[in-house]
């Protein structure tokens, strides 16, 4: 069986923590942040954990 290639789009967005949970950033924080209020910019800096239902979907994806 051939090697699985890394899914580059997923690799740029998700990280696996040491505990095994998957870290994902908040959407809408890449650009055009000048027009958003400061509270939403601050809350977008903190990463969140991917839900367990979504994490199960990514088990077969190499990242």
Give the mean pLDDT per block of 10 residues along the chain (63 residues): 88 90 92 95 93 88 80
In this prediction, residue 40 carries a pLDDT of 94
**Mean of per-residue pLDDT scores for the chain:** 91
In this prediction, residue 36 carries a pLDDT of 96
Tell me the domain boundaries of the chain: 7-26+41-63
User: Contacts for 50-59 with beta carbons within 8 Å, 24 or more apart?
Assistant: 50/14, 50/21, 50/22, 50/23, 50/24, 54/22, 55/21, 55/22, 58/10, 58/14, 58/22
């Amino acid at each position: 069986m051939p090697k699985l290639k890394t899914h580059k789009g997923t690799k740029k967005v998700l990280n696996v923590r040491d505990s095994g949970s998957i870290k994902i950033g908040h959407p809408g924080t890449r650009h055009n942040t000048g027009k958003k209020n400061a509270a939403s910019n601050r809350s977008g800096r903190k990463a969140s954990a991917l839900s367990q239902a979504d994490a199960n979907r990514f088990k077969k994806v190499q990242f």
